[in-house]
Amino acid sequence: METATNTENHRGISDDFRKDLKTGILMPLLERVKKDSTLLLCIRKDYINIYYKGLNLLLIREIKESCPRCYSATFNTNYTQGGYDPKIPKEFMEKEIKSSADAAKWVEYFPLIKQSIDCYNATKKNATEKEFQQLVAIENGKAIKENKSGETDYFIIDLEYSALEGSAKFDMLGIKWIADKHVRKNPRKCRLVFFEIKYGSGAIETKPVKSGKSGAIKVTPGINKHISDFAKMSDAALLDLKIEAVEILRQLRDLGLVQLTDRHPEITGLKEGKPECILILANYKPEHSALLNELSSIQSDQGLDIKFAKANWMGYGLYESCMVPLERFKKELESAEALRKAPSEAAKRRQCE
């Protein structure tokens, strides 16, 4: 098995942290996440984020030096700008979590923090995109009875991942492990996956725009820019990322947050070679020409296996059979564009007759 060249900055939490989540003072928090289909727990470097509608409802960080087996909890008070203040006492927010009673008290505040986030989201343009992102992640990663996420072909293991090297940022990081009983017996069939979500027709294009009062030119993060950033990652960075992804999934599995059972072998490494890069286009208007224009300059051979996700019966589940390779996707768009133009061309000919 390949070994990482640098694990110091990898995402992950300590054994003690996981023990406290599973059976210790943080257990009320983990149990609430497991029972609440609107919450998603993501592992960071020495801390966890609990997401609600794509926003961080609560950050729990391990305090290692001054107070072993103690934890700090942080609620983003910016959410109160939406007009609803959950009125969490300042002295409580500054208090360290030292007992299960402290953790349970934070759980009691969850409905109020949710309401604060709902009001905050009502003032933001990209709130729906963030919520969509979390829904996809939950359907393809979180172990809850309603969706049986283990039956999809992809496990979303992280949101908003920033690569340690370069400027690559992924909306979601995942591992592909086909939901076939024979494939699931072989942990070496797993593959690293980058996900990028583009919500609405206006999010497709990569183009220079003026920014703010300074008038500085910036490039909008369209599909082309994201793929270019992903492709610039070195082989060493990809190796580190693969090993980090395996460890994140292992820790999520240890916490009971992914739907894998004891009959599934432990994943110890990911397939060598280029990762999949999957584009998820949500609420894109088919008649819009931006997508075909954006893809015309993208080459398929960039060290990535670029694919586009198609809906599976209008659900959020991700399956290999619904992934369309870049070149085939281009041809489908070109054919659809030709069909749309055909009636108008015929009408023009009739006018000339």
pLDDT in tens, 19-63: 999 999 999 999 999 999 999 999 999 999 999 999 999 999 999
- The torsion angles phi and psi of 32, rounded to 5 degrees, stand at -65, -40
Q: What is the pLDDT of residue 66?
A: 77
**Would residue 282 count as lying in a domain?**
yes
Same domain, residue pair 114 and 153: no
Residue 302 inside a domain? The answer is yes
Mean per-residue pLDDT for 10-25?
A: 96
Residues 79, 51 contacting (CB under 8 angstroms): no
- Which of the listed residues 91, 121, 151 is the one where a domain comes to its end? 121
State which of 121, 154, 184 marks the end of a domain.
121
Classify residue 74: in a domain, yes or no.
yes
Mean pLDDT within 233-254: 94
Residue 283 is assigned to a structural domain of this protein: yes
Same domain as 205, residue 67 = no
Tell me: pLDDT of 332 over 70. yes
Q: Name the token pair of 143.
A: 């172990």
- Report the pLDDT averaged over residues 219-224: 86
Q: Are 259 and 143 in contact (CB under 8 A)?
A: yes
Of 335 and 147, the one with more pLDDT = 335
pLDDT at residue 268 tops 70: yes
Residue 162 binned pLDDT confidence (cut-offs 50, 70, 90):
confident
Q: Is 5 exposed, middle or buried (0-12, 13-18, 19+ CB in 10 A)?
A: exposed
Share of the chain above pLDDT 90, in %: 62
Whether residue 254 is found in the same domain as residue 173? yes
126 pLDDT higher than 70 = yes
**Structural domain includes residue 313:** yes
Domain end marker among 97, 121, 145? 121
Dist CA 88 CA 82 (whole Å)? 16
Based on the fold, state whether residues 244 and 109 are members of the same structural domain.
Answer: no
Asked if 138 and 114 sit in the same domain, the reply is: no
User: What CA–CA distance (Å, rounded) separates 216 from 214?
Assistant: 5
Q: What are the DSSP E strand ranges found in 163-302? A: 169-176, 191-199, 208-211, 216-219, 276-282
How far from 35 is each of 39, 99, 145, CA to CA, in Å?
9, 21, 9
| pLDDT beyond 50 at 149 | no
Helices 27-35 & 15-22 angle (0-180, nearest 10): 70
Please indicate, yes or no, whether residues 248 and 302 belong to a single structural domain of this protein.
Answer: yes
Banded model confidence at residue 350, pLDDT cuts 50, 70, 90: low
pLDDT band at 213; cut points 50, 70, 90 = low
How confident is the model at residue 146, as a pLDDT? 53
Higher pLDDT, 68 or 137: 137
The number of distinct structural domains making up the chain is 2
Within a domain: 234: yes
Domain identity same for 197 and 264: yes
Give the other-Cβ count within 10 Å of 2's Cβ: 12
pTM for this model (two decimals) = 0.89
pLDDT tens digits, 59-81? 999 998 778 889 999 999 999 99
Residue 7 falls inside a structural domain: no
CA distance 26 to 154: 28
58 forms bridges with which residues in the sheet? 50
Residues 150 and 291 in one domain: yes
Do 101 and 84 belong to one domain? yes
Mean pLDDT calculated for residue range 279-289: 88
Query: Whole-angstrom Cα distance, residue 71 to residue 60?
Result: 6
Residues 80 and 184 in one domain: no
Task: Please tell me whether residues 79 and 180 are part of one structural domain.
Answer: no
Q: At residue 1, does pLDDT exceed 50?
A: no
Same-domain pairing of 101 and 148: no
Q: Look up residue 282 and give its two tokens.
A: 């949500």
Q: Is the confidence at residue 252, as pLDDT, over 50?
A: yes
Of 26-30, 55-59, 165-169, 292-296, the range with the lowest mean pLDDT is: 165-169
User: Within a domain: residue 350?
Assistant: no
275: DSSP letter: P
Beta carbons within 8 Å of 115's beta carbon, 6+ residues apart: 84, 86
More confident residue, 202 or 302: 202
Domain that holds residue 19: 15-121
